[in-house]
Structure 1
Amino acid sequence: MDAIAITPALLRDWPLPMPTPDGDKEVRGHLLIVGGSREMPGAILLAATAALRAGAGKLTVATAASVAQQVAVAMPEAKVIALEETAHGGYQSEAKDRLAPLAGKVSAVLAGPGMSDDAASCELMRNLLPMFANSHIIIDACAMNVVCNPGNFRFAQPVLITPHAGEMAHLTRQSKEAILADPQGAAIDAAQRWNAVVALKGALTMIATPDGRCWSHEGGNVGLAISGSGDTLAGMITGLAARGAPLEQACAWGIALHALAGEQLALRFGILGYLAREIPAEIPALLRNLAA
């Protein structure tokens, strides 16, 4: 099946859910972002900012206890939950109990940005997946290692997973060269194997669903290949999912918005040198223009 190209025309014909004029923040969606560590507290700030710029209404952040207070000050829009840490900078097993009260109350969950300690992160994901089965779930960065469990891993319900080629090679135990040689095939195979919507990121990004549907996107510029850019993209997608967009739609829109933001920033700063933290501010105007 040929991939559907993600273009402004496609997006205009695939409009995002919009709140009613009198809708409150609950109508715009409540999202939970789980991530950050004492070495990478900024990742969760980038993701959270992007999620709110994408239009989500309510935000809860769960992050490492050692940085929770700083994150709360830097992100005054969020409720911040402190998670006790392991010796390797991950979250202790009790983290699931701290997050359990949110089950059934959040529209979307993003897990992974800035996480440390692969073993602890995988244990947490195995607990969170059934707990938040009724929420849109987006898995990024360290949390994606949950699919590396022995045996043929499959999600009980479709989630969105967002690897770049190097991460996909690690997750599937293939070479990066093999992934890059056939990104569409790699994305479709992983989507069907894991029962997930898979966004294989790169200069050419492929989105595949478990039923074999596929979208492609080319655009943006090399300036987007910068620290924190992936965290920003993951937050953007999660904000759109919190508003009620299906995972594949939130992903297609998020990838397009991310690329267009890079193009706008390149006009002002040049192709190299703009920062991931500057991407979210471009989103509201781009959303307005694409909806026109």
Structure 2
Amino acid sequence: MRSATGIARLCACTLSLVLALASGATAQDRGARGKTDGKFTIHFEDVELPVFIKFIGKATSRNFVFSDKVSGTVTVVSPEPVTASEALAVFQSVLAVRGLTMIDDGLVTRILPLKEARTAGGGLVDGTRRGSGFATRLLPLRHVDVSDVAAALESLVSKEGSLVAYQGTNTLIVTDTISNLDRMAEVVASLDIAQHEESVQVIALEFADASTLAEQIELILGGGKTRAKDKAGTPLKPSFKIVPDERTNSLIIIGPANERRKIDELARGLDTELSPGDQRINVYYVKHANAMELVDVLSGMLSGHRRVAAPGAAGA
């Protein structure tokens, strides 16, 4: 009696397995329609996700590995025939909707929940060797500081991704989806340009005094008291620095290329020989008198007009 019951159960299990495999094969047959010239139309309605994975694996010649966490049903319809690469892109979108992603390990591609991808040992990719799904990419910087760029990219990193600024080699280490890695690489390429690079330039002066000219240029380009301020009202620091070298009567310029170019043009324009009779501009700091009143008096003396004394003043 027990033997007959066991045989019945075994037959029932075998029949269920055959029906399941037949159902998967039927779903794949229905899903892949009109396969011509390397293209095929995808049409799946409420099909089990493992069945769709098997179909994509066959269409793209990939070996997928996944656990029982990968489940559920999907509906995918492509009105126009797609290539294998386009089908893979569709597949990644389907996985993203289900909270899943891929990690390319070379011979096999793992499918796992997105929240586990960051610590699952994703592959390392670069601009030439493409991966798929979730991966890590190194973005070395040449002209800007890695900390500044990391701060600018924080808002672009996905919830499951990570961003590390490695000061040792001025490199960003980014772990995220391939599409997001490409987007951040484009942003980094736009920021990491030569005009932001700080260099040192020495400008030898022939006629002007180095210390005086350095103060004048900083006042002109730095904005003095009127220079731009941040949201807290604190004046922003100039993006350049001018160090006068009195021994050689030279200006040492430290800053980006565009700022150094402006300073160089301004310095050479001011470093001119004075004609006979010309006077240099000198600054006198008034200790006891009022500067505005003293300007009025001196202007009257130079113009030859006598200033009318104020009431109560002596010696008009």
Instruction: State the TM-score, normalizing by the size of structure 1.
Output: 0.23
* Greater Rg by CA: 2
Instruction: State the TM-score, normalizing by the size of structure 2.
Output: 0.22
More strand per residue: 2
More helix per residue: 1
